[in-house]
A and B are shown apart, each in its own frame.
Chain A
Amino acid sequence: KNQVEQSPQSLIILEGKNCTLQCNYTVSPFSNLRWYKQDTGRGPVSLTIMTFSENTKSNGRYTATLDADTKQSSLHITASQLSDSASYICVVRGNPYSGAGSYQLTFGKGTKLSVIP
């Protein structure tokens, strides 16, 4: 069964500090992995999208890494700001062109990040 596990479930950090969120997945075959930021009551907003051949991708203070061999990804947030308080969701898309692969997106349950002054 395709699964995406995120850790930690929640995290509290001081403004200005760095943090790293983890994502492990079992989706196979794999097409791409995405990180989204979701503010409370709003739709998710894309931060990064990586295919299996990409190891790292940055978007401002957000840097995502991917190890397709170990099926692990991380999202590193540098110099956190109060506005970074949100849920961060890891999403993996299967590969529909490989055997029984599917377009389907599999979502992690997210990490709830709180940045405090």
Chain B
Amino acid sequence: KAGVTQTPRYLIKTRGQQVTLSCSPISGHRSVSWYQQTPGQGLQFLFEYFSETQRNKGNFPGRFSGRQFSNSRSEMNVSTLELGDSALYLCASSLRDVNTEAFFGQGTRLTVV
């Protein structure tokens, strides 16, 4: 059974640009959530999608947005990139409800220069 796949693995962008990251969950999983990981702040929750609906949102500015498609694949978009957006972006999928296991992808390493 394939795991959570995130693309691309590495990305370099310049300030002001926008970026789209992709996440394919484990087959059958309907919940996808996104996280930002930086050395200083650790892992921080961005948002969670379930059946194409955003179910919860973390405390990030509106430049961070996402969506989920009917096949459960999800994309995350960051507009007007800032240097501080440089981080490892992780996606996790889970089957359904709050007590089920969350499986993480390998992440996308975004560097903003």
Contact = CB atoms under 8 A, between A and B. Distances in A.
Contacts of B107: 42-43
B81 interface: no
Give the size category of A's interface with B: 20 to 34
B56 A107 contact: no
A107 B88 CA distance: 15
Contact of B104 (A44, A106, A109): A44
Interface residues of B, number: 24
Contacts of A31: 98-99
B60 to A, nearest CB: 12
Interface in A91-117: 91, 93, 95-96, 102-110
Given A43-B90, A43-B106, A103-B48, A49 B42 contact: no
Interface string B81-112: 00000000010100000110111111101000
Interface string B1-22: 0001000000000000000000
A103 to B, nearest CB: 5
A87 to B, nearest CB: 9
B45 A93 contact: no
Interface of A: 31-32, 34, 36, 41-46, 49, 51, 89, 91, 93, 95-96, 102-110
Interface of B: 4, 33, 35, 41-45, 48, 55-56, 58, 90, 92, 98-99, 101-107, 109
Given A44-B43, A102-B56, A107-B44, 9 more contacts: A32-B98, A34-B102, A36-B104, A42-B106, A43-B104, A43-B106, A91-B43, A96-B98, A107-B45
